Homo-oligomer: A and B are copies of this chain.
Amino acid sequence: MPTQTTRTPDMSVRVSSEVPNEVRKLSNFLCFAIYSANLAFGRAYKPILDKLGLTYTQYVAMVALTEQDDQTVGALGEKLFLESNTLTPILKKLESIGYIRRQRDPADERQVRVSLTPVGRALLDTEPAGSLVDATGLGEDFATVQQSVTRLRDNLLRSTQSHPGKK
């Protein structure tokens, strides 16, 4: 399942129905590396985000708004790789805290435009700068890994796009 191969997992081409056990180890799964690294990031950020009173998803939503303010829910979702079912409750929460505004677009009442309030913008401007002072430990490989993982993500989404599961 996790795209594994005799060569190396997560790019399998095997066809037989027997899965050799030496291959199917979690430590060989790229998906599991990503999955567990995501858990690890969440835990590393938690104490910092707690001080801001934000969850990780709330935080990245606000960062996306600093890049481009007054976006629709859909446009924001494209940047965050989330849809309105996930985003709407989060945005409502941020609105209730007073960090963002949500208002129907008068030109197209189906759309909701989201923008930072001064308070919200101020929060990010005074944001904990040197947080996680290189807890990644990646050193000079940092940029390379960042790019590779981004490419991985884009490739996966592309392939998911072309094989739209069911329906």
Contacts and interface: CB of A to CB of B under 8 A. Distances in A.
Interface of A: 1-3, 8-19, 21, 24-41, 43-50, 52, 56, 59-60, 63-64, 66-67, 79-82, 124-138, 141-146, 148-160, 163, 165-166
B136 A10 contact: yes
A76 B22 CA distance: 19
Contacts of A166: 47, 50
How many identical chains are in the complex? 2
Given A26-B60, A26-B64, A1 B35 contact: no
Contacts of A60: 26, 29, 32, 35
Given A27-B150, A137-B159, 18 more contacts: A1-B45, A1-B127, A3-B132, A10-B134, A10-B136, A11-B138, A15-B130, A21-B67, A24-B124, A31-B41, A33-B150, A36-B153, A38-B38, A43-B157, A47-B163, A50-B165, A136-B156, A138-B152
